[in-house]
Amino acid sequence: MQRSETHGLDLATSAGQPVTEDLSAAPLALRGLTVSYGGEPVIFSVDMTLIPGTMTAIIGPNGAGKSTLLKAALGVIKPLAGRVTAWGAPLEAARHRIAYVPQRASIDWDFPTTVMDVVLMGLWRELGLLRRTRKTHRDAALACLARVGMDGFADRQIGQLSGGQQQRVFLARALAQKADLYMLDEPFAGVDAATESAIISVLHALRDEGRTVLSVHHDLATVPRYFDRVFLINRRRVAEGPTDTNFTEKALTATYGGRLPDTRLPEPRLPDERRPDERRPQGRPA
């Protein structure tokens, strides 16, 4: 039997199965989660436990069920079996503590709305049904935009922005929620290097504030620098835990069906003003 206690979580295991658990400290816990589309299972009996104050990357090949896992954890997709808890309670009881940044490809960017309106959506609990905004609401939204470097675009139409700018705005909307758990679906897909640097800086700051981050991620070359923990999946959970002990050649080979992706790609030449920890190795396209 192996046993470890982390941030109040009892992770005792025997033959890979939980023996005793206290999940009241876990921002998110999945147990036996199975999801199907049209009667065809997509992910099978998946367990996951997030540790508070950490950043976890969901990693796996295309079709592995990464986005499906995220949506099921959010309650967007109803699982065929299993359960989802947040801080030891049913998901509905803690939904207000969770913020979500979807894939850019899933959003209708032609919808006529301003950047300010998008960020104000993150204040829905304060605004209520009447949606009446006050100066305090706008100031809060501007502060979130400033945090992602977009405060000068508040009155711009969202459809007029670049892909990287749009992604920053949706992160600002998530920040406006003042959540304890941030879940993101490929936040770096199709964005420029400056935007990626800005986003990861914000996410690291959230972690340092004690918030928890869970993100679907494709660029294997940046995983060790960006994330504390990894969750490897290929329809089933392959590995979960600290990056330095679970992001290994053996685990990656098992995750990607026996063909190890190239994680040792060359570092591109970037402007000198970028800090070394912001430099992104050239990986495969998202």
Distance CA 11, CA 155 (A): 48
Name the residue range of residue 93's domain: 25-256
Distance CA 240, CA 242 (A): 7
Distance CA 9, CA 51 (A): 8
Distance CA 41, CA 274 (A): 44
Residue 79 amino acid letter: P
Residue (of 166, 164, 154, 267) closest to 219 by Cα position? 267
Q: Is 175 exposed, middle or buried (0-12, 13-18, 19+ CB in 10 A)?
A: buried
Q: How far is CA 236 from CA 182, 198, 207, in A?
A: 23, 32, 27
130 domain-assigned? yes
267 domain-assigned? no
Residue 169 is given by DSSP the state: H
Distance CA 207, CA 180 (A): 10
**Number of separate helices (H) and strands (E) present in the chain:** 10, 14
Residue 238 amino acid letter: V
SS3 135: helix
pLDDT at 149: 96
CB atoms within 10 A of CB 170: 23
Distance CA 201, CA 214 (A): 15
14 domain-assigned? no
CB 55 within 8 A of CB 228: yes
Distance CA 209, CA 29 (A): 21
| pTM listed for this prediction | 0.82
User: What is the tally of structural domains in the chain?
Assistant: 1
6 domain-assigned? no
243 domain-assigned? yes
12 domain-assigned? no
279 domain-assigned? no
pLDDT at 134: 85
Residue (of 183, 178, 89) closest to 126 by Cα position? 178
Distance CA 102, CA 160 (A): 19
Per-residue model confidence as pLDDT tens for the chain (286 residues): 333 345 545 443 333 444 456 888 999 999 999 999 888 889 999 999 999 999 999 999 999 999 999 999 999 999 999 999 999 999 999 999 999 999 876 666 677 899 999 999 999 777 665 667 788 999 999 999 999 999 999 999 998 999 999 999 999 999 999 999 999 999 999 899 999 999 999 999 999 999 999 999 999 999 999 999 999 999 999 999 999 999 999 999 999 986 655 544 333 333 443 434 444 444 444 3
Distance CA 56, CA 29 (A): 13
8 domain-assigned? no
Residue (of 93, 75, 76, 18) closest to 48 by Cα position? 18
Domain containing residue 208: CATH number: 3.40.50.300
CB 77 within 8 A of CB 70: no
Residue 111 is given by DSSP the state: S
Residue (of 27, 6, 7, 176) closest to 91 by Cα position? 27
